[in-house]
Amino acid sequence: MTITLPDRVSQSAFDGSRLRVVMLVDLHEGTQKRFLDAYEQIRHHVAATPGHLNDQLCQSFENPSQWLITSEWASAPQFLDWVNSEAHIDQIRPLSACIRTTSSMRFNVLRETGEKVTGGAVQKAPRLGDDLVRHALTFTVRPGSEEAVAQLLAEYDPPSAKVDDTTRLCRTTLFMHGNRVVRTVEVKGDLTKALRHVARQPEVRAVEEAINPYLEVDRDLDDPESARVFFTRAAMPAVHHVAAHGDAARVRPGEVERHAVYYRARPGRGTLLAKFLARQAEAAAGDTTGPVVSSTVFQRDDIVVRLIDVRGPLGEDPVAVLGIQGPRKNAVLDRLLDGTAYRPPATAQQPAHLLVRSGMRLVTDRSSAPEA
């Protein structure tokens, strides 16, 4: 069978294929039995989660301190709904106390041999990657502290880009919308390693400590459990990315600017909103004359952020920037958004007004130099 790769870089949680989650954990000495007991207590609760198909707990015969947990889900959005929930935070708390380090990876199922699993489908074709992992963190600060927080976040010295021989922090961009902070990262290699590397840097730790008094939700970075819960709640995974590839992706230096758009969905419609924006981005990706060069959608619950690299001024083509090209798309977006946050004045043009209301303030954008 001949497989034709697409002409665009693409990743998506919305293709309907099953998801395989692989988590490798290294336990503290002497906690194996406690870890197994904790797993037994929660596994049936997790199995009752919508979209969960199966899981396995494996122990290394070479190093009994290393354990592997694999699970299969009918779709990526169903897994993300669970992993971002308060129930997940409570369920894994007994396990976390036993874990020294952990590494998690998520894969869409592309091919399979043997007995078929009931539920979900397989990914239809391979995608073209660009060797980058994208992720975001989001949190809120106390109203009235926005300027102080923005100044702190804009002035810190960036950490070393090199994590190890296989992992590198490539770009960090930080935005604010009102009192909400969103930090996006692009990593080559292991995302977990990169995030831990950044958190350990003295210059980053100093800034995190400086903004602690301004946070709406308290945290103690010296307490591993407090830090784990904070960053679990702050995690905002990339659910879709698309960019032109090859000749179509080439732009002149300084031609493209990075922006972000903040969408607040109606209660319970965050996934539908992210999926809508993903479909619009895919449909527009073939237009090499359009202003949007690449688009990444991040989602957590009813908060959706679209990170875009744009040619020309942001407001020159608000329809394309917002992802509402085509008949009736504006009306669809309006039904998905929280109307109390975005309702325009009677004299306003909807797309232009929405872009003004939802455009995020760029605080800092730092890229590391490419490797020699």
322-362 residue pLDDT tens: 888 777 888 888 889 997 776 655 444 578 888 888 999 99
Element (H, E) at 102: strand 99-108
Confidence of residue 4 (pLDDT cuts 50, 70, 90): very low
Q: Using 50, 70 and 90 to split pLDDT, how confident is the model at 312?
A: confident
173-215, pLDDT tens digit by residue? 999 999 999 999 999 998 888 888 888 888 888 898 999 999 9
Among the CATH numbers 3.90.550.10, 1.20.200.10, 3.40.50.300, 3.30.70.1090, which is that of 133-235? 3.30.70.1090
Number of H-type helices and E-type strands within the chain: 12, 13
Predicted TM-score (pTM) of the model is: 0.91
Looking at the chain, the whole-number percentage of residues with pLDDT higher than 70 is 92
Distances (CA, A) of 64 to 26, 34, 56, 71, 98: 9, 14, 16, 20, 14
Here the tokens at position 180 are 């909400």
pLDDT band at 248 (very low <50, low <70, confident <90, very high): low
CB proximity list for 3: less than 8 A, separation 6 or greater: 125, 126
For residue 52, give both structure tokens: 């969960």
49 three-class SS: coil
pLDDT at 306: 96
CATH class of 18-108: alpha beta
- Band of residue 157 on the pLDDT scale cut at 50, 70, 90: confident
Of 362, 370, 371, 369, nearest in space to 154 by CA: 362
The answer to whether 292 and 310 have CB atoms below 8 angstroms apart is yes
Question: Is residue 27 classed as helix, strand or coil in its secondary structure?
Answer: strand
Q: Average pLDDT in the 38-47 region?
A: 92
Condensed to tens digits (0 to 9), the pLDDT of residues 112-130 reads 888 777 777 888 888 888 8
Q: What is the rounded distance in angstroms from the CA atom of residue 226 to the CA atom of residue 211?
A: 16
The secondary structure of the chain in percent helix, strand, coil, rounded to multiples of 5, reads 35, 30, 35
* Mean pLDDT, residues 36-42: 93
Q: Where exactly does CATH 3.30.70.100 map onto the chain?
A: 18-108
285 pLDDT band (50/70/90 cuts)?
Answer: confident
| Phi, psi for 64 (deg, rounded to 5) | -60, -10
Note the pLDDT of residue 147: 97
Whether the per-residue pLDDT at 244 is higher than 90: the answer is no
Model confidence at 253, in pLDDT bands (50, 70, 90)?
Answer: low
Burial of 243 (0-12, 13-18, 19+ CB in 10 A): buried
CATH number of 237-362: 3.30.70
d(CA 53, CA 112): 15
Cα-based angle 209, 233, 13 (whole degrees, multiple of 5)? 130
Region 306-311: what's the mean pLDDT?
Answer: 92
Which part of the chain is CATH 3.30.70.1090? 133-235
pLDDT at 6 over 60: no
Residues 108 and 74: beta-carbon distance below 8 Å: no
